[in-house]
Structure 1
C-alpha cells in the first residue's frame, strides 16, 4: 500500500452525494469502465480534489500537470503546503486495506514503545514498551507496559542496526532485558517469537477508580487509544464500553478525571462526540461542541440549505455524563496525541478547565474522509482534508507543528514505565502533584533512569508512528 509516502489516515467513503444534496455536477470524469490508464485515474484525482479539498481554490491548473504521472506523484502536486499546513492528506493504491485500518483493524504485533538510548553517549538502544494492545499477539505472549526489548532476532539493538532489524517482517523474536544505570542487560531466557495477526483494537485500554478519599479525591482514570465506535458486527460496542466506564465513575462519585490520550492519534468524530459528552460540565444538546469550516463552495451550499448554524455540532445527551461531579479534567498528552483527541481537548475548553500534562500535541485541527471510486474502476483511494474544526468560542489556533501546548511539560522518559494509575508513573505523579495529593509511601519503588529518545513520538511495531485521524463519516 502506498499512501503518498506520508503517514496519513482516516475514514469511510465520501460519495459526494451528501444527505443535504450538495454534489457538484460532473465530479467523476467520464471514462470506460475498464479504462484504468494513469491519465483517467489522475483526472479522477484532480476532479475529486477540485470539488472537496479544503484548499481547492489553491490547486494548480490541471493543464500544467503531467496527466500520465504515477498517481502518488500527481497527488503530491495538489497538496497545499505539505510540510506546514496539509501534513495529512494521502493517496493509497489499496483503499480496502486502508478502510480496515480506519476501523481499528490492522495486522500488528501490538507493541508501542519509546526507542531510546540509556544516555547520549551510548550506542545500545532499547524498545521501552509504553503500551501493549489488548488482544494482540504481543499481549498473548505476555509482553506488558514496562518491559524492555534489548534484542531482535538474537541481535542486540544499537543505533546503527535497529532500523534494519525492525524491518517490515511479520515474525520477530524479541528478547527482554533490564536497565541498570546506563547498562542494558539481556535475558536470553525471556525471548518470545511473535507473529503479526489481524487485530480489532479495543480503544478502552485501561480504566480504574483511584481512591484518594483521605485528600477528598476519587479519581477516574481511563486510557483511550483511538476513536473507533465499534466493530462491523457490533457497531457501537466500544462507545458502549466507554459509556459503561463512565457509568461506574458516576456511580462511585468520581470527582476528578484523568483522560490518558498519550497513544491516541484520533479517529472518528462520532466517538469524540460521545467521549466529550460524557465529560463536559454544564453541557446540553443545545450547546456547541465543535464547528466545521469547509471550502467556499460547500460552506456556502450547506448554510444556504440548512441555515447559518448548519456547521455547528452540539453535544449529545449522555446519561452517564459526570460533568456535574467535575471542575476540571486532566488530559495526558504526547506529540502523537492528534486529531479527534485534540478536538475533545479544544471542544471542552469553553465549558471547563482542561489541564494538559506531558508534551505538546500533534497539531491537527483538520478533518477528512477516505474517498474511493464509486464506479470501482480502480483500487486507488484518497484521504482528503475537507475542512477544519473550531470550538464554541471559534478557537482553532493549534493547527501547527506546535499543537496544543502542555500546561505542565513533563518528559515521559523515566524508565521503567510504571503501570497506568501508579502513583509513581511519571505523568500521573504530576497529576497528583497538581491536585496536592502526596504520592503513597508504598508506591516509592526502586531506582529509575531517564533515557534519551530517538523519536519525538511513541512508535509501534516496525518503527511506525501513529496515524493522525479525524474522520468525518457519511
Structure 2
C-alpha cells in the first residue's frame, strides 16, 4: 500500500487519451529488453502497482483469478475499469524511456500537423492540409508552412488505406505540393524533401496584438501547442517565453484575449498553472486553481500528511497577469484540445467568462502516473489514472467522449488554412465577430474550399493525434 509515496524515482504525473494499438509480438519481454525479466514477473509488478494507486483499484479482479503468463498488454487490459466509457486512458508500454522523452516534448519528427481530408467529392485521393508546422523542425527549415497542401508522398497519391504506410516508409519523405485553383486542388511541380530530426518543440508558436481602436479593442492572440516548461538545458525556457508574451500584451493594453489551444493536447500541470495565472481575473496565490481527488488510500494519506486542503492547488502570483483588464477570455478548441488545456478552461470559469469556439474537446478530466520499475529489471511501464481534477467550484462535468461543448460550434474545415493571426481565419474570425468587430471590406478574399476530413482530429507526422496528458512533477508530497 502507498507504493507511490516512497518511490524516489517517481517524477511525473501524466494522463493520455490515445490508446496505441497493441503490436504483434513473437518474442518475450526478456528478449525485448535484454534483461532476465519474465512475463510472469512483469505482470505481477503491473498488478502490484495498479492495486496500490489506481483510482478504481477496488474494481480489479483478484490476482489469483488471472493468468500471469499472458502478454503484459493483454494482462493489463483485464485490470482496466470500463475501458470504452470510463477509463479510456490507462495503458502499458514496453519502452518507458522513449515515451518519457515524447512527454517532455522531444521527438524525432518531420514537424507537421495536418488534417487528412478528401481532395474532391469522389472520396478517392486525399490531401494533407497543413495546419501547423513545428518551430525549429526540418519541415520549417524546408519552407513548409501552415496553409500548404500536400497531394502526394514519395510520388504516390494519398488514400485512406495507404497514408500510414507512406509516412512510415523511411526517415526521409518527398512531398508533392498542391494548389487550389478554380475550385479544385491539383498537384504542382513543387516537390519538397524533408528528413526527420530530433526536435524539442517550442509550444509558443505565434503571438500578436490586433489593434481595433474604433471598437475600443486591443486583442492579444496566442497559439500555444503544449504545456511544457522548458528544455533539459533551460527548464523554464518556454514558461518564461510565455511570460514575455503576456508582458507584451500587458504593455500594449490588451483588453480582449484569444487563446488558440486547437493543437494543444496537454502537458505539465505546472505550465497550465503558469498560463492560467497570467490570464485569470481577480486571482492570486490565495485562490484555488484546481483540486484533485485520489483513491481512498491516497486521499487519506495526503490529508493526514498535509491537512484537509492538501489536494487543493492555488494560482501563482504572476507579475504580467492581465486579468484586471479582461472580462472574458476566448479559447479556440478542437477534438484534440485535451487534459491540461481543458484544465485551464475549466479552472478559469469560476473567475471569468470563458467563451469557447470550435469543436468539442477530448473530455479528459483525469490525471495519472507514468511508473517505471525502480529496480530497472525491464523497460515496461504503466500509465494509470490516479484521480480526477475539478475547479474551485468542484465542477468537473466534461469527462466524457463528448468533452466540453463549445459556446460557438464552428467546424475548422475551410482550406487552405489561413495564417495564424489572419483576421479571416475561420475560428479567429468568429471570435472577432462575437467581439463586435466586422470583417474588413478591403481587399479580395483568397479562394477557399470546404473539405471533408477522414478523421475529426488533426494528426501529426507520426500518424497519431497529440497525446492527451496532464503531467505533474512530484516528490514525496502531491
Q: TM-score, normalised by structure 1?
A: 0.92
In structure 2, the CA distance between the partners of 1:168 and 1:78, relative to structure 1 (3 Å rule), is farther
Task: Report the more deviating stretch, 113-122 or 248-257.
Answer: 113-122
Structure 1 residues 240-319: aligned runs within 5 Å: 240-319=240-319
Q: Which residue of 2 aligns with 1:134?
A: 135
SS in 1 for 2:46: helix
In 1, Cα distance between the equivalents of 2:217 and 2:275?
A: 22
CA distance in 1, matches of 2:154, 2:169: 13
Q: Does 1:464 align with 2:464?
A: yes
Q: For residues 410 and 271 of structure 1, what CA distance do their matches in structure 2 show?
A: 27
Give 1:17's aligned residue: 6
> Cα distance, 1:72 vs. partner?
1.3
User: Is 1:177 matched up with 2:160?
Assistant: no
Tell me the equivalent position of 2:152.
Answer: 151
Deviation per CA, 1:104-142: give whole Å up to 9, x if none.
000111100011114443312110000000001100110
CA contact (8 A) 1:424 1:443 kept: no
Residue equivalent to 1:211:
211
What residue number does 1:426 align with?
A: 426
Aligned partner of 2:379 in structure 1 is 379
2:49: which partner in 1?
A: 48
Contact 1:422–1:443 (8 Å) recurs in 2: no
Counting matched residue pairs gives 448
Does the aligned pair in 1 maintain the 2:266–2:470 contact within 8 Å? yes
Separation in 2, partners of 1:15, 1:168: 41
> What per-residue deviation string (whole Å, max 9, x for no partner) do you get for residues 220-273 of structure 1?
010000000001110010000000100110111000000000000000101000
Q: Which moved more, 1:177-186 or 1:248-257?
A: 177-186
1:4 corresponds in structure 2 to: none
Partner of 1:25: none
Which secondary structure state, in structure 2, belongs to the residue aligned with residue 134 of structure 1? coil
Deviation per CA, 1:391-411, whole angstroms, max 9, x where unpaired? 000000000000000100001
Which residue of the partner structure matches residue 168 of structure 2? Answer: 167
1:37 deviates by 1.1
SS in structure 2 of the partner of residue 240 of structure 1: helix
- Alpha-carbon separation, structure 2, partners of 1:73 and 1:168: 28
1:183 Cα offset (Å): 2.5
Contact 2:120 2:184 in 1 (8 A): no
Measured at CA, do residues 290 and 127 of structure 1 come closer, stay the same or move farther in structure 2, by a change above 3 Å? same
SS of match in other structure, 1:91: strand
Contact residue 365 and residue 398 of structure 2 kept, 8 A: yes
Tell me, in whole angstroms, the C-alpha distance in 1 between the residues paired with 2:236 and 2:281: 24
Distance in 1 (alpha carbons) for counterparts of 2:284 and 2:473: 23
The aligned residue for residue 103 of structure 2 is: 102
SS in structure 2 of the partner of residue 60 of structure 1: coil
Contact between 1:119 and 1:182, CA under 8 Å: does it hold in 2? no
Structure 2 partner of 1:399: 399
Q: Which is further off, 378-387 or 103-112?
A: 378-387
**Alignment root-mean-square deviation, CA:** 1.7
Q: Which runs of 5+ in 2 are unaligned?
A: 11-34
2:78 is aligned to 77
After superposition, residues 446-465 of structure 1 pair within 5 angstroms as 446-465=446-465
Note if contact 1:414-1:450 (Cα within 8 Å) is conserved in structure 2: yes
Contact 1:124 1:184 (8 Å CA) reproduced: no
3-state secondary structure, aligned to 1:452: coil
| Cα pair distance change 1:314/1:443, threshold 3 Å | farther
Structure 1 CA distance for aligned equivalents of residues 182 and 43 of structure 2: 56
Report deviation, 1:168: 5.1
What is the alpha-carbon distance in structure 2 between the residues aligned to residue 374 and residue 16 of structure 1? 13
CA 1:122–1:179: 2 relative to 1, 3 Å: farther
**Distance in 2 (alpha carbons) for counterparts of 1:283 and 1:339:** 22
Q: What TM-score does the superposition give when structure 2 sets the normalisation length?
A: 0.91
Distance 1:367 1:181 in 2: 48
Number of the residue aligned with 1:226: 226
Structure 1: stretches of 5+ with no match in the other structure: 1-13, 22-33
The alignment partner of 1:241 has SS state of helix
SS at match of 1:290: strand
Secondary structure of residue in 2 paired with 1:386: strand
